[in-house]
Amino acid sequence: MVIPANVVVTIYKNNYQTGESMVLEGPKEVSFEGSQLKQWNDNIESMVIKRADDFQKAAGEVDKIRGEW
């Protein structure tokens, strides 16, 4: 998988963005075969692709909400 600069991909092991997840930030080329990511090969059921700016903004909103608890 090739992830361009300023792109964040979140992969999930279950449908509908549920289950175990991993965040991959570009620029990066990721191989799921023969690496420590092999467990993900053929197990990705869903993913979300965002611009890095949108991802960071969403993470900031979550941090603000956590601070209010």
- What token pair was written down for 28? 């990066």
Rounded alpha-carbon distances, angstroms, from residue 69 to 56, 59, 62, 64: 21, 16, 11, 9
Q: Does position 69 have pLDDT exceeding 50, yes or no?
A: no
- Residue 30 token pair: 């990721």
Q: Is the pLDDT of residue 65 over 60?
A: no
Tens digit of each residue's pLDDT (9 = 90 or more) over 11-59: 999 999 999 999 999 999 988 887 778 888 888 999 999 998 876 665 5
Q: What is the pLDDT of residue 58?
A: 58
